[in-house]
Amino acid sequence: MKYVDVAIDNNSEKTDNLFTYGCGFDDVSVGSRVFAPFARGDRIRAAYVFSVKDELDEPVKGLKYIKEVDSELSLDAHAIEICLWMRRRYCCRYIEAVKCFVPAGSASKRGRERKPAFADIPEDVRHGLTEEQAAAAARIAPWIDESRFRIFLVHGVTGSGKTELYMQAVEKTVASGRCAIVLVPEISLTPQTIGRFIARFGQGKVAALHSKLSYGERYDEWMRVDRGEARVVIGARSAVFAPFRDIGLIIVDEEHEGAYKSDGSPKYDAIEVAIKRARQCGAVVMLGSATPSLTSTYRVERKLYERISLTKRYNETPLPSVSIVDMREEMKNGNKTIFSLEMYNAMDEELRRGRQVILFLNRRGYSAFVSCRGCGYVMKCGDCGISLTYHKAEDEAQCHICGARRSVPDVCPECGGRYLKLFGIGTEKVEETVNALFPDVAAERMDLDTIKKKGDLERIIGRFRRGKTKILIGTQLVAKGLDFSNVGLVGIVAADITLNIPDFKSAERAYQLITQAAGRAGRGDEAGHVIIQSYKPDHYAITAAANNDYAGFYRAELLMRKAMDYPPFSDLAQITVCAEDAGRARAEADALAGLLRGRADTAGRQRILGPGEAPIFRQGDMFRYQIYVKVLPSEREGFEGFMRESKLAAAGVKAKKDRYSVIVDINPYSFMT
């Protein structure tokens, strides 16, 4: 007889514990999926084994017994170790961490393998490595050969050939008999990346794991990896949990992207998980970016990462020239359109030369909000409390958080006036303007409103790659990783949108987005041009991006972060207290903040901010208050323990009228939720 401690597959804070069972099965081990009777009714529930022992430390009253061990699905001990770490680090439940390692979907009832379709697989074109690439590969190779853990920050300008460097490292890893995980930040980049790797390694060795696959496709791809058939996994952040037992390399492309931070539960950081898994296996981590996060560069300075610099484009084409247009001067000169004269003339010239144009605006929809010029009323979502975005194609205002839709009234509901107007611009407005200015030119928009169906994204990208589309308009989907050789101009329509977001990372994100978008220009044999339109043309993020001055931007931004104890000098914890009654939510948030301040010293109390109303104050039937805590490294362990206690206390409230919850997010990507 063995005894096992298991986490029950039950989505409740109240049962977030390890339960001890007797087990008469010899094949049970740490990570096994088992089935066990649970609670008073002894309903059979799935569970996952966290420890196995031959005898009990003390008798267990009413000991129950495992009914079955799943012979098909199990985790390994390394995965369970990661689950324990995730529970501490992200204040999540055992089962939430476990579910990250478990495949979605189930086996086909017909016994057929469901394979995702990969279109437009290119030829495997191998370019000789540049001097910089060869030097970089030589520095990485010994760590792969010797199965030693090491983190490399590959800081390479756009078009410097980071992907070829990744593929060389993957090739060496697979040749050594080990496996590789390649993470990309957006689903939009996955088809292009998968195509390149399939061309190099063959479809049998490459698996895709991402949310755009059907549940059946994801399950079968997961099982191919688990059986050892696939040796390379490519996908978005969840692919970091691929069931490899012998990881030799993890690549995180565009490591600065916020898409690697989960906004669901558990609120994990895929880069942190990647580093944790690599350390377990003696694997190499390659973090690649043209605009590394401040945190990564700071860790290079502290000797935690090793930097590899790629300063030249692989085809020796110079970086694009950059112009900054002061839109205040355009307004003074009577130009009230969304395009400066310089932008229009440059678009016209490039199109006449047969080259293509990308226009970037990080806001979808037609207008940012609908407001009454008479009384100041703004249309807002009744559930989320945020302003609604007007979409002209549907002739309605939409909430980009919950998806609520409302017709725009003829008169203001507040004052009865007829002065409801549209303010701000989105990609839909840009598309309309482009079609009016260039009626004979094929233009297409790529944002979340135009890629609603499976395959939409690939079709839009394919038409642009083939030259059928001449002007591509989009949100950040067009700014990341896309490689088109005929783009002569990238126009950044409104560089200030990101700067105006109330977030301590807004300058960093503005710098990154401008630089990444600009990098889409001139990737072929001819140099490209970039035009940045801004009402704040002297802002250091914009001038640094225009001059490709990462070092200058980093120094300026780090000074501000250090003065304010922001990351990377701390973890910034967002604590959200939710309740069905606004007064109850405020009272619980006040009490929790008071307990936090009571545990802190004088300096620590200065790092506890709030509580205050969340930007989305009401979500469904719950009202939300938020507290922010800047947690220094020395305070992390105590904070994690305190937050687990607080979440359990909230879960213990039984009366429905008193129901409330506590949600913890460590270093959230967005502070506007």
Q: According to the model, what pLDDT value does residue 415 have?
A: 94
Helices (H), 130-287: 131-145, 162-175, 190-201, 215-226, 270-281
The sign one gets for the Cα dihedral 615, 620, 624, 628 is negative
Query: Across residues 19-47, what is the average pLDDT?
Result: 96
Max mean pLDDT range (105-109, 315-319, 634-638): 634-638
Number of helices (H) and strands (E), helices first, in the chain?
Answer: 19, 27
- Is the pLDDT at 437 greater than 60? The verdict is yes
Confidence at residue 544, expressed as pLDDT on a 0 to 100 scale: 96
Dist. CA 194–CA 167, nearest whole Å: 11
* Averaged pLDDT, 120-142: 87
- Average pLDDT, integer, range 485-512: 92
Contacts of 286 (CB under 8 A, 6+ apart): 140, 152, 154, 165, 166, 169, 249, 250, 251, 252
Residue 254 clears pLDDT 80, i.e. is over it: yes
Handedness of CA 55, 60, 65, 66 (dihedral sign): negative
Residue 654 reports pLDDT greater than 60: no
Average pLDDT, the chain: 92
655: pLDDT strictly greater than 60: no
- Give the mean pLDDT of 344-364: 96
> Comparing C-alpha atoms, which of 327, 115, 263, 186 is closest to residue 576?
263
Q: Cα–Cα distance between 492 and 512 in angstroms, integer?
A: 13
Q: Which of 134, 89, 96 is nearest to 8 (CA)?
A: 96
**pLDDT (mean) for 327-351:** 96
pLDDT band at 11 (very low <50, low <70, confident <90, very high): confident
Task: Give the side-chain half-sphere CA count within 13 A for 245.
Answer: 9
| Structure confidence by residue, pLDDT tens digits, 64-88 | 999 999 998 999 999 999 999 999 9
Instruction: Give the per-residue pLDDT at 481.
Output: 63
Per-domain residue ranges of the chain: 2-101, 131-310, 321-366+426-560, 367-424, 571-666
- For 172-207, b/e burial (b = at least 16 CB within 10 A) is bbbeeebbbbbbbbbbbbbbbbbbbbbbbbeeebbb
Q: In the chain, what percentage of residues exceed pLDDT 70? A: 98
Beta pairing partners, 410: none
- The pLDDT, as a whole number, for residue 619 is 85
Q: Is the pLDDT of residue 264 over 70?
A: yes
pLDDT band at 671 (very low <50, low <70, confident <90, very high): confident
Higher pLDDT: 11 or 623? It is: 623
Structure tokens at 218: 């994801």
Spatial contact of 38 and 45, defined as CB atoms under 8 Å apart: yes
Q: Please state which CATH number belongs to domain 2-101.
A: 3.40.1440.60
What is residue 188's predicted lDDT score, i.e. its pLDDT? 62
For the whole model, what pTM was predicted?
0.90
Name the more confident of 140 and 114. Answer: 140
Residue 529 backbone phi and psi in degrees, to 5: -135, 145
In the block, residue with structure tokens 């200065």:
606
**Cα separation of 261 and 235, whole Å?**
14
The 8-class DSSP code of residue 237 comes to G
> Residue 189: its pLDDT value, please?
62
| Cβ partners under 8 Å of residue 235, min gap 6 | 182, 183, 184, 190, 208, 209, 210, 242
Reported as a single tens digit per residue, the pLDDT across 222-248 is 999 999 999 999 999 999 999 999 999
Q: Which residue has the higher pLDDT, 112 or 462?
A: 462
Q: Range with the lowest mean pLDDT among 216-225, 391-400, 472-481, 552-561? A: 472-481
Radius of gyration in angstroms for the set of CA atoms belonging to the chain, rounded to a whole number: 27
166 three-class SS:
helix
Phi-psi category of 228—alpha, beta or left, where left has phi over 0 and alpha has psi -120 to 50?
left
**pLDDT recorded at residue 50:** 98
- Name the β-bridge partners of 584: none
Q: Residue 488 pairs with which residues in a beta bridge?
A: none
In whole angstroms, what is the distance from residue 25 CA to residue 2 CA?
Answer: 8
Reported as a single tens digit per residue, the pLDDT across 498-507 is 888 889 999 9
Residue 192 pLDDT exceeds 80: no
CATH number of 131-310: 3.40.50.300
| Mean pLDDT calculated for residue range 35-60 | 94
Within 10 A of 302 (CB to CB), how many other CB atoms are there? Answer: 9
Strand pairing category for 19-23 and 2-8: antiparallel
Query: CA 523, CA 163: separation in Å to the nearest integer?
Result: 14
Cβ partners under 8 Å of residue 416, min gap 6? none
Q: Give the ranges where 67-117 is alpha helix by DSSP (H).
A: 77-90, 94-101
Residue pLDDT, tens place only, 268-316: 999 999 999 999 999 999 999 999 999 999 999 999 999 999 998 877 7
Model confidence at 151: pLDDT above 90: yes
pLDDT greater than 90 at residue 519: no
Name the least confident of 20-24, 423-427, 475-479, 642-646. 475-479
Q: Return the CATH fold of 571-666.
A: Alpha-Beta Plaits (3.30.70)
Mean pLDDT on 411-423: 92
Contact 236, 190 (CB under 8 A): yes
Q: 321-366+426-560 — its CATH code?
A: 3.40.50.300
The predicted pLDDT at position 118 comes to: 67
pLDDT tens digit sequence for 388-407: 999 999 999 999 888 899 99
pLDDT in tens, 156-180: 988 888 999 999 999 999 999 999 9
Domains 321-366+426-560 and 571-666 are alike in CATH topology = no
State whether residue 352 is helix, strand or coil: helix
Please tell me what DSSP assigns to residue 374: T
Say if residue 191 is preceded by a cis peptide, omega within 30 of 0: no
